[in-house]
Each structure stands twice: as structure tokens, then as C-alpha cells.
Amino acid sequence: MNYPKTHFNIFIILILSISVTSFAEFKQGMYLRTDIVAGANFDSLLTSASEAGINNIVFDVKDMKGKVYVDIKNCPTLISRSGDLKVDIAHIVAKIHARKMTATARMVAFHNTRAAEADSTICPKDSLGNRWIESDRKGPQWLDPSLKNVQSDLFSLIDLIVKAGIDEIQFDYIRFPTQGNIDAASFEFMRENERRLYRDSTYTPLTKMDIIAGFLHDVKEQNKHKKVKFTADIFAIVSWQNDADIKATGQDISRMSKYLAALHPMIYSSHFNNEFNYRQDVHNEPYDIIFKGVKRTFQNVDSRCKVIPYIQANSWQVNFKKEFIAAQVAACHDSGAGGFIFWNATVRYETTLSWLGEINVNQ
């Protein structure tokens, strides 16, 4: 399906799509940095977001650097430093709930620069047994997802956040590293495979997919009597479930989705090369790439798991205008997605919210 070229066509698509997904159940989310939700302007931003139709706020409780925005003790991989921002999660959740929105805590799982720099024993290893790094320029960034003590600290953080009344915990970077000399990287589960096979030739070796699915299984099992939902972000290209991508990331959609309420493929048209799926200008044809990405995800996802993509709310490499936003929203409706989440790393949403409000009024 071609990207709708006219203002009129876009709104016709949106109107017709209401029968596909009830708007009352359709998540319209936006990502915010934690300093924003803890800032003086958060209340006014919530007002603008609510008026535009946003019904879900996503904010960080742990970011890529390993910075944790709550006080937590006895977790060596969760390192706090003087001057770190700490927030009252329950207070933030209460503000979000007061606007009849749901509150989602974004938790970066295995990317943790602080801990990787501080302790080489919890990082992947190279062929000499030294700390493996993805990039010489960036330095240590990744922890070994198969280490139990790495996972244990995340479980402790989950417990703390759940007690604060959060509605959903969204895992990001819930995968293995994929860049750099990845063939030289050794993880604990690989070394355990070698030890077990040495003693038992009938042993079935574990895979990266086993580690990621096993972590999510344990998360769900430990929280099965609680109201919180768990979701996870995946690379957009993982939606296509090519064997090489599955094995590199460990993100097997069919296995992961058994333990999740939703999967969030990050489908930003600006991140695809032109000619992908035969689109000559894929950056400015977001309808096509989002529609196909969602449909591809549905081919492998568990029937109880929703597909709610992240979509682009910034101007990087695209002709950023109302029609660009409307086309993405339309694709989410038409593909049967359970909603969408806006992503803008600079968290400047004023223009996007204005456009979304107009789009929703015309529905």
C-alpha cells in the first residue's frame, strides 16, 4: 500500500480504520525523559498531551548508561553517583493516573555503561578472557545477559517499581549486543555449554534465544499475582524475523511474546535504507513500513500479546509535517496494532501533539 499523498486521503483512512481497533482501547503513548516528568512543566505537558488524546506516558527508571532514578540498595550492577536525579515513582504515577492515563516505566535491561566500566567480571569476554567491548570509541557498555547476578539486580528493581504502583514495565535493550567483533564475544551460557557438553554429550546447549525467553519467563512467574504488565521493545528489523537477526539479538518473537502483554517494534522510517521493501523514498513513506512491520510482527506473536509500535515524532531525515504523523497513526490503525508510542529523544512534542489533536478530532 502506498503512503497516502493527500491530506484528504489520510483522514479517510483514519476514519475507516476505527472499526479495526476500538479507539477506547487504542494506546496513544509518548516517551519522556525522567527529568521531564520530575520537572516543573510536567503538569502543563500532561494537560497538552491529554487534550491531544495521549493516554499513556512512558518514562525511564533505568537508562542505557545504567543510571537508576530511584534509590535501591544491595544491587552491584545498579550504580548511583552523587548528583543523580532520584524521583518518587508513586507521586509521578499518581499525577499520570489523575489524567486517566496509564504509567509505564521503561527499564533498559542489559546495556549498562556504568556497571560495564566498573566491573569486567559481569561483561562479555573476549577470546583471551578479557572484557569484550562492542566499540573501542565508546568503551564498555554491555553486561552479560546470561549472568544470574545481572538478572537478579533487575528483578530487585522490578520489585521496587511494582510496589510504587506502576501499570507497566517496558524492557528495552532486552537482547545481546550486535555490533563490533561479535564473533569474539563469549558469554557465560556459552562457557556453561562447553562445561556441560564435556561431561554429558546428550546435553542440549542453550542459545541466546533461551536466555532472553528464560529471563522473561522468570519475570512473569515472579509477578504472576500482581497487576503490573510487562512489555518489550525490539528492533524494527526483528519484526521480519530473519534467522540471522534472531540469532544475533536473541529476540525470538514467538517465544518472547508468551510472557508479554505487548511487543513494541521500533519502526522509524528514517532508520531504513531507501529501496527497502522496494520503497524508493522509504524515509517519507512511513505508512508502508509501519503497516508491514506490524503485520510481520503479528505473524509470529502470541495471540495474547499486542503489537504497539514506537513511531517517529521528530524530523530526523524526514519531511516532518502533519501528514507524516497522520500516515503513521493511520498505519497503526489499519494494521490492527494496539496503538502507538511517540519517540522523540529531545522530548519536544508541542508540534506533534497539536497535529495529533487535529487528527483525533477528525476521527
Q: Where are the domains of the chain?
A: 7-104+146-180+208-361
Query: Where does residue 235 rank: exposed (0-12), middle (13-18), buried (19+ CB within 10 A)?
Result: middle
Cβ pair 310, 264 in contact under 8 A:
yes
**CB of 304 closer than 8 Å to CB of 271:** no
CB 61 within 8 A of CB 105: yes
pLDDT at 9: 45
Cα separation, 1 vs 288, in Å, equals 6
Structure confidence at residue 14 (pLDDT) = 42
Residue 98 has a pLDDT of 97
> Over the chain (363 residues), what is each successive 10-residue block's mean pLDDT?
41 38 73 97 97 98 98 97 97 98 98 98 96 95 98 98 98 97 97 95 96 98 97 94 96 98 92 61 82 96 97 86 95 98 95 96 77
> Quick one: which H or E segment has residue 234?
strand 229-235
Report, at the CATH architecture level, how domain 7-104+146-180+208-361 is classified: Alpha-Beta Barrel (3.20)
CB-based contact 53:28 (threshold 8 Å): yes
